[in-house]
Amino acid sequence: MFEGDPNAPLTRWARNRGIPVIIGEDERPKDVSQAIKSIESATSSSSRIILIQDSSEERVFDWIEAGTTWANIVVADPEGSPNQWLQDVALSADLVIIPFAPTALDAHQVAKTVSVLGRVGRRTGTPVPYRVLLTRCGAIQTRDERKIRLALKEGEVPMLATTLRDRPAYRAIFDSDQDLSGLDHSQVNGLDAARINAAELAAEIISYIQNTKNGAAA
């Protein structure tokens, strides 16, 4: 996982779980080979996840390329607002996921991010693949949510079919520094439903990327 958010919520979560963490400001690799050495020295044969925290635009591509030599999946998480870090990550991404709680405030932020990705695509001559992910949705759609969903559909905004519900288990991940598999049924309500929801999302994302690489995605 590659974090560009200066507030570093993922870094705190990883450290509290004992996951290897690299702070880019401390390492400052000059090229990909140095970034690879940093990852190799920070991990062991039992490490399944590594977290790299670096909001510097100078080292984005080195960390991503180094990460792909170690892991099958690299997840890059920027700060909330569109910036150069996000643009650089988008150039390397198989898929950019834009989380979107169905509120007017989030709608404005999503529009800004989509606009940035459009400019990146025009500048490079290659459209940036992205999908909007609806999150923190209630079991019953509110009037505002229905209105926003309709606007997204009418605007032909590319969206993931899976919606992440507003579930206690997703908040508990950071409250208890766990992942979904490590949470306890006795402490979290609706855990099974949260796990199924998350598994559906992961399956859709993986399927999209696989189909894209095979030339079958729309």
Kindly tell me the burial class for residue 30, based on how many C-beta atoms sit within 10 Å of its own C-beta (0-12, 13-18, 19 or more): exposed
Residues linked to residue 77 through DSSP beta bridges, in sequence order: 3
- Dihedral through CA 53, CA 57, CA 63, CA 65, nearest 10? 150
> How far apart are the C-alpha atoms of 203 and 188, rounded to whole Å?
24
Residue 85 has pLDDT above 80, yes or no: yes
Q: Which two tokens stand for residue 113?
A: 């991010």
Mean pLDDT of 113-124: 92
For residues 119 and 91, the answer to whether their CB atoms sit within 8 Å is: no
CB 78 within 8 A of CB 53: no
pLDDT for 153 equals 85
Mean pLDDT comparison of 92-96, 111-115, 214-218, highest-scoring range: 92-96
Q: Three-state SS for 52?
A: strand
Burial (0-12, 13-18, 19+ Cβ within 10 Å), 155? exposed
pLDDT at residue 216 is higher than 60 = no
Distance CA 30, CA 216 (A): 38
Q: What is the pLDDT of residues 32-74, one digit of tens each?
A: 999 999 999 998 878 889 999 999 999 999 999 999 999 989 9
The CA-to-CA distance between both ends of the chain, in Å, stands at 27
Are the CB atoms for 75 and 1 separated by under 8 Å? yes
Question: ∠195-201-207 over CA atoms, to 5°?
Answer: 130
Cα dist from 45 to 17, 20, 40, 69, 136, whole Å? 17, 12, 10, 14, 36
